[in-house]
A and B are shown apart, each in its own frame.
Chain A
């Protein structure tokens, strides 16, 4: 069962305060606090990486993200911006994998299809739509997919997406527009009317 983004995303002040407190403890070398941070965010990191890179090497990528976070915590200046910083690292790890991902794309698609068809769901239509979404995402360029996954699936605000990717908000809007257009066309071509 997937976790809804709203359950894990630190979008209110109390969550951000809790993050800040945990980050401060982590910076003192408290590994238990880092464990709490991991449990707060691992599902969201995992989900983002899965949408961007697929199922292959997913565990390794998640591990790489949290190792980079642990090592980079002493350099984190704005503790309140932890979630933005975490997504930036997640995106960096995904970007690092992009070349390898492109080379193994056909293999990735085969694996993700297999993963979808192996899901234990009684509704075949639901499985079919999941497969379509997965294939639709795979049609997008990495930049467009990143913006769409962060904004539309992970519910990160556009301004924060711009901060994570280091691009203007206008570029985020533009990429989102094109990504949605491409996906809409793909879905319509596959017989889905929205």
Chain B
């Protein structure tokens, strides 16, 4: 484990005797500006767009509101339709049920047959 003082002395030594950085070429800065001038500037935001972000936020908010409203409409409207369809199905089933029940009742009703049999029986007996 090294002593913190050793580290301090080492760092101080390194800073004191760090090699001097060679000077830049006299035309380096000019070369950099030339290279920058020839680079496309289109990636920077146009001046007019800098004003837009607040309006963009507002427009995004309004758009989101419309989407929510539309989504809500879509969410609730099918439920009403489903209710209507269910009601119709319910009525049809019950209507069929009523009709079928009537037919069954008619088919199982032997009153007329019994009456005819009774009438035949009366005619048969002298």
Contact = CB atoms under 8 A, between A and B. Distances in A.
B44 A28 contact: yes
B11 A59 contact: no
Contacts of A47: 21
Interface in B10-58: 10-11, 13-22, 24-25, 28-29, 31-33, 35-37, 39, 41, 43-45, 47, 50
Indicate the member of B21, B31, B43 with the most A CB atoms within 10 Å. B21
B26 to A, nearest CB: 10
Contact of A180 (B10, B15, B17): B10
A194 B10 contact: yes
A62 B13 contact: no
B112 interface: no
A170 interface: no
B16 to A, nearest CB: 8
Contacts of B18: 2, 51, 130, 133, 153
Contact of B15 (A27, A116, A152): A152
Contacts of A35: 33
A180 B36 CA distance: 39
B74 interface: no
Interface stretch (B1-9, B59-67, B86-94, B118-126): B1-9
A181 interface: yes
A115 interface: yes
Interface in A24-46: 27-29, 31, 34-35, 38, 42-43, 46
Nearest to A177: B2
A2 B17 CA distance: 11
A42 B23 CA distance: 11
A91 B79 CA distance: 61
Given A35-B33, A74-B43, A133 B24 contact: no
Contact of A46 (B16, B21, B43): B21
B21 A62 contact: no
Contacts of B21: 2, 43, 46-47, 50, 58
B43 to A, nearest CB: 5
Contact of A67 (B7, B11, B32): B32
A67 B36 contact: yes
B17 A126 contact: yes
Contacts of B31: 63
Given A27-B44, A38-B32, 4 more contacts: A58-B22, A133-B19, A184-B10, A194-B9
20 contacts: A28-B44, A29-B44, A29-B47, A46-B21, A50-B21, A63-B28, A63-B31, A66-B36, A67-B32, A70-B36, A71-B43, A116-B19, A134-B19, A152-B11, A152-B14, A152-B15, A153-B15, A180-B2, A183-B14, A184-B6
Interface of A: 1-2, 27-29, 31, 34-35, 38, 42-43, 46-47, 50-51, 55, 58-59, 62-63, 66-67, 70-71, 73-74, 112, 115-116, 119, 126, 129-134, 148, 152-153, 177, 180-181, 183-184, 187, 192, 194
